[in-house]
Structure 1
């Protein structure tokens, strides 16, 4: 069986969804090409090549024939991957962390944000036949596309100025020259697109109309048409650059150099992307953290707002995780690198935003299908306007051809095609700047339509850092004995309750006993063999199902749960060893975040595996409904029931909520840059704030309102100019202005989203 090879190029010159469609159709026609993915924001083309079919050079030539520049990326691009977390759940919303590794790598040729411009994350934006690769580093006004606008503007302006002093026969050639100058690159591109399977391109419409106008003696208007078209393309170029600025800003969060500590304690300067897992780096006050890592020495306050959007500096000390791009406020830190540059938090965020902008929302897919029929339909209407009125309405042929050509220009679907992706890209970028990561337009569109938001409890509505509050051993047992057995069973687990048990044992100087054969009963308990006896740490429900009588501990269990505490029952064989009570405080902003959802008309509900008394106590304090004592399969059934009333957003900590996150209309993970939080769900709230969920809903609704406005502008302007053209009120240049003007308006309207801020 022959296996395909994944190949990738950086493609310079794409500035709208139409460009993406052109490149996709062109390369899909080549033999042996499959799985074509074109990413506008990353300026990247990736596809699979079958052995013995088209060569990478043939693909590059096909792309460059359309007027773009294709540069092969250094490494093959693996197919998209997604990691899932399937950690066992053992009672009280227990979630042991057995998360799968992060998704298989995505091509970041230069190792993420530390890479050079032009590698990995594409930050430049050169364009069309008139540009060269050097344009990627130039301001918009110095690019090849801008030079074409200046040349055309000079020719048209000179001809217009001379027309006041010279006869028409002398100025007409200047207008004609301006038309031909523009039609050379545009016409060449139209021919290449027709050969590549896109005969009804925007370039074809414009060239046909401009040539027709020149033929019937309207060279002045033909020149103005091509000039306005070139201006429109330049504005799209500028808009695409602005939309990519968010990704560029993220990449610039990474310091270029880091201070790596040598074994003798001295430091050496190295490029940040050259840091390896296990290296020790020195982070001085005022420095940006150059890596994801763990603090080995030092205390400081870290400003994580550039990455998570959280404006309040966070105190960090030995053992705490830090994320690349954070700003060290005051203390000196020694940080052990935990992730390579290509896989640190900023690199993954950049990758996620790029991939999100390549994902099309349902509304965008509909507009693209509609525009595919729109253009040939418009050409037929234009032909009918030329052929029928001379016979039916008595128009002369010049008037009929002139108005038919104007209809052709009005039909350019540029504004309509760009109306949705421009808004989506701006919305996704605005969210990323505030720690709200959304994996694509489809998820962004669905979030705002949610009728219900379902929250996990531990680590989502609560801090996820429970502490042991009570140790109640059974008669004849001691607190230290109870704790040593429980710590033996929980050893090696990353679950918050397990960590709390181990922390309590360490604080009391209790040494965990040796355990073997650890296992979990999802949603109920974790078990191990200590000595020759089977020990379990689980929920009261697990103890009841095992037929264990708690005796005098039953009353204490009810009291502790009534206080809103989570209680674990420790069993030795089939006898109670004692109770361990935990308290996990709600997040500081949880009540305000729940209230904000209510103001948006969204119903919040809590789904937890914890006991009913504890769940209801937390829910009442936060002001939402609760469903408690849910096993993982129960959560799935509850999500399905809620979806009957409308779209459901599920919010979890990304550790053991993968099934529920996948079952919901949109899954949202809360977590400060963890692998699972970034890779598992449809969206992630990096600030670790419940209020971030209402901000996601608000951003989605603002984006969809922007989309509707853009579509109305694009279609409304065309409708107005279509009527005025057929009535003879407006001519050729207002017709192209209808499209160029609409493109400018929808682009500017979409860019407003970059300044979006959550409602106070």
Structure 2
């Protein structure tokens, strides 16, 4: 337990990773370090998330481990704006390389066409070969030099990545140019330049698409206010939002953004909170209400006292949560990771075997190419022995693509978690994306989850010898020492009726049963039948009335004075506006629903029947919720729990997926896998739909990445794939995976009943 409390989490920004094999190598090096509990490297986000024991390993050690594997850790702290600028610079640089390489490649293509289709090397064969070498050289050694540099670094550190394959493929192709002057080899120097150009084009589109995948975080960053008007020494002063301190009074006019989280101390308005909750309708706010930074004040002038600034604000916490989710992994990715870790070495072996096969069995393979030449115009069965072997080997080297495998899951996860943040669904762990789509049963807490959590007294039923006022006064005096919502409702009603709340002594909360305290000379008990039975207080005279109240979905609390029943106080907690509709749509999605509550069985069943819940588990003590979740897991399989209170935290942790209502307690939120910023249940539907849609994209991406390599490599071995087509297909595979992930944005994850 002590060790768990000492663990730290660090995020490292890693430069120079060019493919999934790079990420896998870094991750493996970190994972195998003593003191590192868990390490996840996200190739798409270019970040490593490391959980470690600082007593065994330091941040500096982690940096050294990454650098020892051949990659650079970007240490300098950058502001959010600077990080966005850096992304734009990467895209611009990749675009520049692509354009320069195409500027030299287009002449190569035009010059090669007569030679390829007519057999004419214009103006002479010597000039043609020299021209191919001259045009390809700057593409490879100037524009594409980074590819060779990273390939060299990988090899020097005892590993191989995608750049090694490209470097070997283009290098082998280019060498045939000078060699063709001395041996009867076909000249592939121009082809080498074209391969590099397609490679750089793929890099550019991939860089741009990866930027789009993390677009949601960038959008959130842009939402924040840049300045704030604060009251300093009696005067209104405009300052950068970074200079706002806790306790500052901010003046916010209509149309302005709320600079940071705070509490309204003057004025009232309607606040557009769509950036936080996804809810388009403005929310009315008045004195005492909390406001969220980056939301928009739509109407009146308000003064807000800053309560959270900097990294403590809601917006910063959302960004942190999304980034952490993007740094985690989905279980389905494990197989792809295992394949990726051995992919490049395997391809190098396959390439060597391919070269050998063409030298050992040229006639057999030439029969295949002769047959294919009738259908594929780029297949030439008349190539020489060595040329044919080189042709097939280069195609194998450049067609193999671990990038598509490495990008398949993280890009979809980045888009999905970003969409969740935009819709008020904060996914804390990537694993929840996969688990949530497998959920069979969703379990709801009652108070504050299905109901508003703001109960009110509806009935006062005094026993003989007690008046309504006496009954309420006794109960309120005891409940004044309680923090339970039902007790607060009784106290609130007594205050509204101007009743005196007496001093008490010996207050005790009896878990799951009620409360007791000494009021004057009497011992007063407020709670359930079970509590009254323990005190030998006869409740039989009011059983029928209790039953009636409970069937009306009211919580009936018994009040006992010494050994006598004083009466009943009934409290009702109104259902949330969308509880019925949300639960109905969850059932339409094929999910079972259940409710766990400490309330009595009749009240619980009445509420369950009203909202359409399938299974009810009532009269459960807080520490019994975990056991009930375990029983449901045994009965139904994968279970999600939705709750909001402190007593829900253990159950949220026990459930396969814990979903916390964001309006609930911090402890419940910290114990959950998914946090719903909005307090209503529509976000549960959004979370389920988002999970299913994201996982569909992950499976599609992995399928196309695997099927592409499964088909393409054997075709390349047989000499049926031109190296240029191979490289174009390789680049396309990565682009298609990232593009497919971005198509997730088109999926509608809103509940049907909210659609206009």
Partner of 2:487: 498
Please list every run of 5 or more consecutive structure 2 residues that lacks an aligned counterpart in the other structure.
115-121, 178-187, 366-384
Q: Is the contact made by 2:260 and 2:292 (CA closer than 8 Å) also made in structure 1?
A: yes
Quickly say closer, same or farther: Cα 1:499–1:338, change in 2 above 3 A.
Answer: farther
Shift of 1:676: 3.9
Partner of 1:278: 247
Partner of 2:315: 346
Q: Is the contact made by 1:516 and 1:530 (CA closer than 8 Å) also made in structure 2?
A: yes
Partner of 1:70: 74
Quickly say closer, same or farther: Cα 1:138–1:451, change in 2 above 3 A.
Answer: closer
Of the three residues 625, 637, 647, the one matched with 1:635 is 625
Q: Alignment partner of 1:512: what SS?
A: coil
**Alignment pair present for 1:160 and 2:109:** yes
Partner of 1:246: 216
Whole-angstrom distance in 1 between the partners of 2:717 and 2:434: 38
Q: Is the contact made by 1:205 and 1:409 (CA closer than 8 Å) also made in structure 2?
A: yes
**Alignment pair present for 1:215 and 2:175:** yes
**Alignment pair present for 1:178 and 2:182:** no
Q: Alignment partner of 1:582: what SS?
A: strand
Of the three residues 72, 97, 100, the one matched with 1:148 is 97
**Alignment pair present for 1:261 and 2:231:** yes
Q: Alignment partner of 1:593: what SS?
A: helix
Partner of 1:326: 295
CA-to-aligned-CA distance 1:333-366 (integer Å, 9 cap, x gap): 2323333332121111111100001110101122
Quickly say closer, same or farther: Cα 1:660–1:294, change in 2 above 3 A.
Answer: same
Whole-angstrom distance in 1 between the partners of 2:573 and 2:256: 34
Whole-angstrom distance in 1 between the partners of 2:44 and 2:349: 34
Quickly say closer, same or farther: Cα 1:214–1:647, change in 2 above 3 A.
Answer: same
Deviates further, 596-605 or 282-291:
282-291
Whole-angstrom distance in 1 between the partners of 2:302 and 2:674: 31
CA-to-aligned-CA distance 1:95-128 (integer Å, 9 cap, x gap): xxxxxxxxxxxxxx8xxxxx6534xxxx43xxxx
Quickly say closer, same or farther: Cα 1:296–1:537, change in 2 above 3 A.
Answer: farther
Of the three residues 672, 676, 693, the one matched with 1:702 is 693
Q: Alignment partner of 1:252: what SS?
A: helix
Deviates further, 312-321 or 455-464:
312-321
CA-to-aligned-CA distance 1:474-505 (integer Å, 9 cap, x gap): 33334334333433433365432233223212
Whole-angstrom distance in 2 between the partners of 1:723 and 1:40: 27
Quickly say closer, same or farther: Cα 1:673–1:629, change in 2 above 3 A.
Answer: closer
1:137-536 alignment runs, 5 A limit:
138=88, 141-143=91-93, 145-161=94-110, 167-173=127-133, 174-182=135-143, 184-196=145-157, 199-217=159-177, 218-262=188-232, 264=234, 266-394=235-363, 396-491=385-480, 493-531=482-520, 533-536=522-525
Whole-angstrom distance in 2 between the partners of 1:391 and 1:435: 63
Q: Is the contact made by 2:24 and 2:341 (CA closer than 8 Å) also made in structure 1?
A: no
Shift of 1:747: 0.6
CA-to-aligned-CA distance 1:689-730 (integer Å, 9 cap, x gap): 212212211111111111121122222233333343234332
Shift of 1:555: 3.2
Quickly say closer, same or farther: Cα 1:177–1:667, change in 2 above 3 A.
Answer: same
CA-to-aligned-CA distance 1:524-546 (integer Å, 9 cap, x gap): 22344445654443223332344
Whole-angstrom distance in 2 between the partners of 1:44 and 1:194: 22
Quickly say closer, same or farther: Cα 1:714–1:429, change in 2 above 3 A.
Answer: same
Whole-angstrom distance in 2 between the partners of 1:493 and 1:41: 50
Q: Alignment partner of 2:81: what SS?
A: coil
Whole-angstrom distance in 1 between the partners of 2:37 and 2:595: 44
Quickly say closer, same or farther: Cα 1:516–1:242, change in 2 above 3 A.
Answer: farther
Quickly say closer, same or farther: Cα 1:699–1:62, change in 2 above 3 A.
Answer: closer
CA-to-aligned-CA distance 1:380-409 (integer Å, 9 cap, x gap): 222111112322343523212321221222
Deviates further, 635-644 or 244-253:
635-644
Of the three residues 13, 24, 41, the one matched with 1:21 is 24
Q: Alignment partner of 1:552: what SS?
A: helix
1:2-17 alignment runs, 5 A limit:
9-11=12-14
Whole-angstrom distance in 2 between the partners of 1:388 and 1:568: 85
Quickly say closer, same or farther: Cα 1:55–1:300, change in 2 above 3 A.
Answer: closer
Quickly say closer, same or farther: Cα 1:692–1:8, change in 2 above 3 A.
Answer: closer
Whole-angstrom distance in 2 between the partners of 1:306 and 1:641: 39
Q: Is the contact made by 2:227 and 2:240 (CA closer than 8 Å) also made in structure 1?
A: yes
Q: Alignment partner of 1:629: what SS?
A: coil
CA-to-aligned-CA distance 1:424-476 (integer Å, 9 cap, x gap): 11111111111111112210111011111111111111111111112233333
Deviates further, 268-277 or 749-758:
268-277
**Alignment pair present for 1:117 and 2:72:** no
Of the three residues 630, 633, 653, the one matched with 1:662 is 653
Partner of 2:180: none
Q: Is the contact made by 1:348 and 1:678 (CA closer than 8 Å) also made in structure 2?
A: no
Shift of 1:649: 0.9
Q: Is the contact made by 2:322 and 2:418 (CA closer than 8 Å) also made in structure 1?
A: yes
Whole-angstrom distance in 1 between the partners of 2:296 and 2:610: 35
Whole-angstrom distance in 1 between the partners of 2:508 and 2:233: 41
Quickly say closer, same or farther: Cα 1:116–1:706, change in 2 above 3 A.
Answer: closer
Q: Is the contact made by 2:626 and 2:651 (CA closer than 8 Å) also made in structure 1?
A: yes
Of the three residues 667, 671, 685, the one matched with 1:680 is 671
Q: Is the contact made by 2:21 and 2:343 (CA closer than 8 Å) also made in structure 1?
A: no
Quickly say closer, same or farther: Cα 1:753–1:673, change in 2 above 3 A.
Answer: farther
Whole-angstrom distance in 2 between the partners of 1:55 and 1:356: 21
Quickly say closer, same or farther: Cα 1:461–1:545, change in 2 above 3 A.
Answer: same
Whole-angstrom distance in 1 between the partners of 2:575 and 2:75: 51
Shift of 1:418: 0.6
Q: Is the contact made by 1:64 and 1:70 (CA closer than 8 Å) also made in structure 2?
A: no
Partner of 2:370: none
Q: Is the contact made by 1:537 and 1:571 (CA closer than 8 Å) also made in structure 2?
A: yes
Whole-angstrom distance in 1 between the partners of 2:683 and 2:37: 39
Shift of 1:734: 1.6
Q: Alignment partner of 1:276: what SS?
A: coil
Shift of 1:414: 0.7
Partner of 1:132: none
Quickly say closer, same or farther: Cα 1:211–1:628, change in 2 above 3 A.
Answer: same
User: Over aligned residues, Cα RMSD in angstroms?
Assistant: 3.2
Whole-angstrom distance in 2 between the partners of 1:58 and 1:362: 25
Deviates further, 508-517 or 696-705:
508-517
Q: Alignment partner of 1:520: what SS?
A: strand
Whole-angstrom distance in 1 between the partners of 2:100 and 2:71: 19
Q: Is the contact made by 1:17 and 1:421 (CA closer than 8 Å) also made in structure 2?
A: no
Structure with greater Cα Rg: 2
Please list every run of 5 or more consecutive structure 1 residues that lacks an aligned counterpart in the other structure.
74-108, 110-114, 125-134
Shift of 1:666: 0.4
